[in-house]
Structure 1
């Protein structure tokens, strides 16, 4: 496709908003809050899991930690009305603060961290890092924290002290990834005291925390023609943002009278990068419980639930690999997804992805309806294939599931790279999918 033709699809406003979303979402908890803010502007209202749910039409969402489930019930929807679900995840690989964070060595103050997810360790060296996450207070409340300032740094060993560094760097996760944040003796309680003060609470009131590091350099356009996007947490906040925008657009149109044959749903899970085994992960009953409760709220029975799920399709949206110009031999020779080539359909016959031939047809129909190009990703047979929440969702709920995403380089790095046009193309395809 020519550059002029591609530009016809491109809405830079969407990518500008994605950059803003990434900036306000350094942790899963912040990503949920940012998505919720956008949904509320589209008329959605928050509901509590402990409350009884009513059958009225409209948009709703619930928050559980770093996970968010949102759905829109159109006028006239029956208890057997099928769902169209978009599954994403809010977490990204990073360095997370340990329960006893204050440490140090050789006159340096440091912060003890644990490796979260599949981290390319060298990408976190010599970066200015901030802190974000949440503080759990003794009164039962939670306070979000976002410190977008250069507080920490993991310094690389100088080449003069490691002459073999360019022949292969080996980093010990315990010894070499501990960030520095000052000089002096170990300051017991100093980190949490500082974070609490910045959050406007007393350190004595902090009973627990879930804190993590993030690169303070904001996402930005890259390249001569600004046709690329470089930034942190593209995997998988790009999909969370695209799905949120698509759901808000579909709900707004439905509220204005557009016909909607399905109940569109956004499922943004946490802990995908560590296997999804948590109360906010895709292996939890969270999504299944929400779908079942919406059926019951509309007067439905177990039979209605089974009918609704039988007609339900899930689109699992996560990042995929673009062909790397310096390592093209690592990719499947016949499938070379490129940035700005449109969303990718992810296929693996060993069910690391959930896509089958029928799912391919659903995905193709959505892209055709949206008028966007699309590509296919398949792993090289000699390379292990990653996985997503797609197979988990398909197996747990017994619903047809398709895996998709966009093509990117440097996946799981502290900063990743994708085409600047692809976020809008993905959101357009998701919107068409939710509309049915």
Structure 2
């Protein structure tokens, strides 16, 4: 026992010295990059990531190879679509709704953080927006009505069918790359899509000749989730879960179709521009 303890102390001592050396190295690299003294760095929160640039590949350069496509691809398409949906002077002249993009952190680890979708940020933002627009005549219940008239597109990536593992998908629910956005359904509410929200989102695509696919996970397999159910239940907002089909999700190098990024951008832009008109005509008979 004495020999074991002595050996353990030696190992711990070496490990501690090594970690201290690594921390000192990181601090020096950061101080050089930030042009400050090492003593100015009081704490470090670092994540290792692939710095290799994204690129096109495939026989016809039809694929995008990149780190963090999940979910930077959706974030980029949504932000670009919002900007371009408001470019001309007449884009908002007849719009009575508020167009917005909400980008959250920590989705992959549950969203339970101050910057994640589990925080009340969305609820608070919507309430503040409404409070800036209402007056004494329409103030009472305005926020609740605004929520009921709102619509959330929860845009996360989707698992495309892998040519080597086709049987991992249901026979008629195998999302393909280059075939448009995937609308995701789940009876256990792992996705927030309903029949109504799926119809409305598909109608936007139909009007603008944009393809969509639909996905249901095999009933004998587990299923991931998105921020869709979190915001749908936390705010009470109609939600559709959709995303670009991809391969190698969560690996250091992910793959998606080049055309799908363009389709996603066009679909999101069309949604911003036509949602209000479609929603006004929508009648749901329960």
1:220 to 33, 55, 59: 55
Match of 2:153 in 1: 315
When residues 302 and 394 of structure 1 are mapped into structure 2, their CA distance, relative to the original with a 3 A threshold, is farther
Separation in 2 of the partners of 1:368 and 1:254? Answer: 26
Asked if structure 1 preserves the Cα contact closer than 8 Å seen for 2:134 and 2:142, the reply is no
| 1:241-390 aligned within 5 A | 241-253=76-88, 258-300=93-135, 301-390=139-228
TM-superposed CA distance for 1:193, in Å, is 2.3
TM-superposed CA distance for 1:261, in Å, is 3.3
TM-superposed CA distance for 1:262, in Å, is 1.7
Q: What's the secondary structure of 1:211's corresponding residue?
A: coil
Match of 2:284 in 1: none
* Structure ID, larger Rg: 2
Asked if structure 2 preserves the Cα contact closer than 8 Å seen for 1:243 and 1:266, the reply is yes
The alignment covers a number of residue pairs equal to 258
Separation in 2 of the partners of 1:238 and 1:397? Answer: 25
When residues 433 and 254 of structure 1 are mapped into structure 2, their CA distance, relative to the original with a 3 A threshold, is farther
Partner deviation per Cα, 1:354-403 (whole Å, 9 max, x = no partner): 00100111111121233211101111111101100000010000011000
Separation in 2 of the partners of 1:216 and 1:270? Answer: 20
TM-superposed CA distance for 1:104, in Å, is 7.9
Gaps of 5+ in 2: 1-12, 276-286
1:428 to 244, 266, 270: 266
Establish whether residue 401 from structure 1 lines up as the match of residue 236 from structure 2.
Answer: no
Partner deviation per Cα, 1:182-218 (whole Å, 9 max, x = no partner): xxx9355221222122122222222233211111211
When residues 192 and 104 of structure 1 are mapped into structure 2, their CA distance, relative to the original with a 3 A threshold, is farther
Q: Provide the aligned C-alpha RMSD in A.
A: 2.0
When residues 425 and 188 of structure 1 are mapped into structure 2, their CA distance, relative to the original with a 3 A threshold, is closer
1:198 to 19, 24, 33: 33
Asked if structure 1 preserves the Cα contact closer than 8 Å seen for 2:85 and 2:91, the reply is no
Separation in 1 of the partners of 2:141 and 2:161? Answer: 46
1:229 to 46, 64, 89: 64
Asked if structure 2 preserves the Cα contact closer than 8 Å seen for 1:254 and 1:260, the reply is no
When residues 385 and 225 of structure 1 are mapped into structure 2, their CA distance, relative to the original with a 3 A threshold, is same
Higher helix share: 2
Give me the TM-score of the superposition, normalised by structure 1. Answer: 0.56
Asked if structure 2 preserves the Cα contact closer than 8 Å seen for 1:321 and 1:377, the reply is no
Gaps of 5+ in 1: 1-102, 111-184
Q: What's the secondary structure of 2:102's corresponding residue?
A: strand
Partner deviation per Cα, 1:290-326 (whole Å, 9 max, x = no partner): 1111111123535111111110010000000111111
Q: What's the secondary structure of 2:21's corresponding residue?
A: coil
